[in-house]
Amino acid sequence: MSEEAAHAALAAKLGHAFARPELLRQALTHSSSTQGARLSSNERLEFIGDRVLGLLIAEWLIERFPTEREGDLGKRLSFLISAETLAGIAERLDIAAALRMPESYRQQGFRTWVNILSDALEAVLGALYLDAGLDAARGLVRREWLGLLEGHHKPPLPAKSRLQEWTLGRGLGLPVYTLNSTEGPAHNPVFKVTVAAAGREAEGSGASKRAAEQAAAEAWLLGLQRT
């Protein structure tokens, strides 16, 4: 499938005809394919898409759960905007088929691929917002996130809390998180964190130290499922 056809197929799944198709093109351009011209990649659109998603999910949660306290709403928000959740939605929309990046990047490890997909979905949402406004972005969010929002009658626990419950419940003490590195520009840093628990380690990355810790805990728990 040609790049143009892949973009058209994705736009159809999004239910939106872009007045400025160059926005969708940029949203689907990974920084690895820009030959150093990072301003032409999807990073800026990811930046705004992340904020749009947070606003729209927070708005929806306030509307849908009028009796819940801020702490419980925060747990729901963390789950609904997590990299794992976004990557799952990106896979359902088949965003990977339209992504412009070297083939080697498609062979990256699980955690890196999750981050690539979740970032691309945020960039697509940012492109949709800039092309048609908040209502268009809201329509996509409420359609694609509906099953996830309705599927949890109780606020889901973040990965760090689930890992802590697992270790403490077995008398293994608290997980230990170590910041390994901080990379990237100041406006768009990438934190890398390792978590050690029960004699096993896992690594995660994110746009904040907290997000990286959550990603590391999620990776540790996924490893537990495979053992």
Q: In sequence order, which residues have a C-beta less than 8 Å from that of residue 69 and are 6 or more positions away?
A: none
122 is in an annotated binding site: yes
- Token pair in block for residue 145: 């996130």
CB 54 within 8 A of CB 81: yes
The dihedral region occupied by 15, where left means phi > 0, alpha psi between -120 and 50, and beta the remainder, is left
Catalytic residue among 4, 59, 84, 122: 122
User: Strands, E, within the chain: which ranges?
Assistant: 176-183, 190-197, 200-206
Instruction: Please indicate whether residue 122 is annotated as part of the active site.
Output: yes
| β partners of residue 195 | 177, 202
Q: How far apart are the C-alpha atoms of 78 and 100, rounded to whole Å?
A: 28
| β partners of residue 80 | none
213 is in an annotated binding site: no
- What is the residue-wise DSSP string for 69-109? -HHHHHHHHHHHTSHHHHHHHHHHHTGGGG-BS-GGGGGS-
- For residue 200, the tally of other CB atoms under 10 A from its CB is 11
- For residue 68, the tally of other CB atoms under 10 A from its CB is 15
46 is in an annotated binding site: yes
Catalytic residue among 43, 50, 131, 218: 50
Closest to 216 (Cα-Cα) out of 38, 68, 84, 69: 84
Instruction: Please indicate whether residue 131 is annotated as part of the active site.
Output: no
Residues that constitute the known binding site: 46, 119, 122
Residues that constitute the known binding site for Mg(2+): 46, 119, 122
- Positions marked catalytic: 50, 122
